[in-house]
Amino acid sequence: MEKIIKVDLKEKSYNIVIKENILSSCSKYIKELKIGKKILIVTQDKVPSVWIQKVKQSLFEAGFKVFVLVLKSGEEQKDLSSLLKIVNFAIKNKFERSDSFCAVGGGVVSDLTGFAASIYYRGINFICIPTTLLGMVDAAIGGKTSINIKEGKNLLGTFYQPKIVIMDPRVLSTLSKREFLVGMGEVIKYALLEHTAKTKFPKSGFFKFLKTKKNQILKLNTKALFQIIDYSAFVKAQVVSKDEKESNLRAILNLGHTFAHGIEQAFDYKKYTHGEAVSIGMCLASKLSYRQNLISEKEVTSIISLISDYGLPTRLERPFNLNKIIKSMLLDKKNKDGKFRFILPVDKIGKVKIVSGIEIKEIKPLFLN
């Protein structure tokens, strides 16, 4: 089965191609881009070499001159020194503007390589081959690139769209369970946006699908995986196509994220993965919505149950420093005058709304019960 999803951004439009075992034939799609002969694959040492070899071999057989730069794994590698490694490597090997950088890895590799591609010679072709679930359903789509600096995460970056995104669900077979669940946090988020994003999933909707197909998804059943990747990538592509630079609609993708960023930062990005923090954030957003009379208790219970069924956390483990979390949450640039702005699930599952002017005193009790 092959699925092509278009991200529609006029002259910056591109395709997301999803296909099982596509890595061995990825050059077929890359050749169509009519790009230069040199391709620099940027990856990380924990990305199994079997996946990198498949991409490399396919490109080599199609006549490309392929270079591979393997960085260490870890979020801390998404920094200025890795950026310089990529750029210096490209300069040393005489990469020209028509040549390409190709990320093969998770969100760290795609954010970093995309950023490097956006500034090398004022923009070189960028190809993205995500190998984590989070990479597939989120980081690889939409053109947000970045690196971290000591003052904060993702503080330097650009909007720079790839020329193509290639996804092979098979690569998820080597991912740890915890890393897989990082992506599931975002997949569940798409179920809570289904109606607002105007991306109706067939039959009874994506939320129900995630509920009924839980066992298959967690066992990495190929068909079920394909469906969740396909639908999630479709939602993100639709939203980004309508609002590339987050002027309005794209903000809905931040559901649960103001809480999540506060939690991640307050725990120094150690205790909770991003997906775990987003899961707790979505539960807190649902509880807040209930307190604002925007959603029924039954819907809140359903959301929390689904998150819990996937083995994701629904509340913070005690003890925690609530003031530190709130302080970190207040750094969110979308807040105004010390009051929060949240994306909240409202009405029936699948609908969200942006709610501003929420005070600190309304937030604190959510964490405590």
One-letter amino acid at 312 equals: L
Size of the site for ligand NAD (CB under 6 A): 28
Paired tokens of 364: 């604190």
To ligand NAD, the closest distance from the beta carbon of 82 in angstroms equals 12
Q: Which two tokens stand for residue 14?
A: 């591109």
Shortest spacing between CB 354 and ligand NAD, in angstroms:
19
> Does 257 engage in binding with ligand NAD (CB under 6 A)?
no
Contact between 358 and ligand NAD by CB under 6 A: the answer reads no
Which of the residues 106 through 135 are near ligand NAD (CB under 6 A)? 106-109, 111, 131-132, 134-135
328 in contact with ligand NAD (CB under 6 A): no
Told to check if 179 binds ligand NAD by CB under 6 A, we report yes
Q: How far apart are CA 96 and CA 123, in angstroms?
A: 10
User: Contact at 8 Å (CB) between 54 and 42?
Assistant: no
Is residue 44 near ligand NAD by the rule CB under 6 A? yes
Q: Which residues contact 63 (CB under 8 A, 6 or more apart)?
A: 37
The token pair that represents 141 in the structure block: 């789509």
C-alpha distances out from residue 368 to 18, 126, 283, 316, 362, Å: 42, 45, 13, 9, 12
Listed ranges 43-51, 192-200, 206-214, 328-336: which one lies at the site for ligand NAD (CB under 6 A): 43-51
* Residue 289 binds ligand NAD, judged by CB under 6 A: no
182 binds ligand NAD (CB under 6 A): yes
Q: Burial code of 125-160, b = ≥16 C-beta within 10 A, e = fewer?
A: bbbbbbbbbbbbbbbbbbbbbbbbeeeeeeebbebb
75 binds ligand NAD (CB under 6 A): yes
**Does 46 contact ligand NAD by CB under 6 A?**
yes
Report the interface residues with ligand NAD, using CB under 6 A. Answer: 44, 46-48, 51, 73, 75, 78, 105-109, 111, 131-132, 134-135, 138-139, 142, 144, 154, 171, 174-175, 179, 182
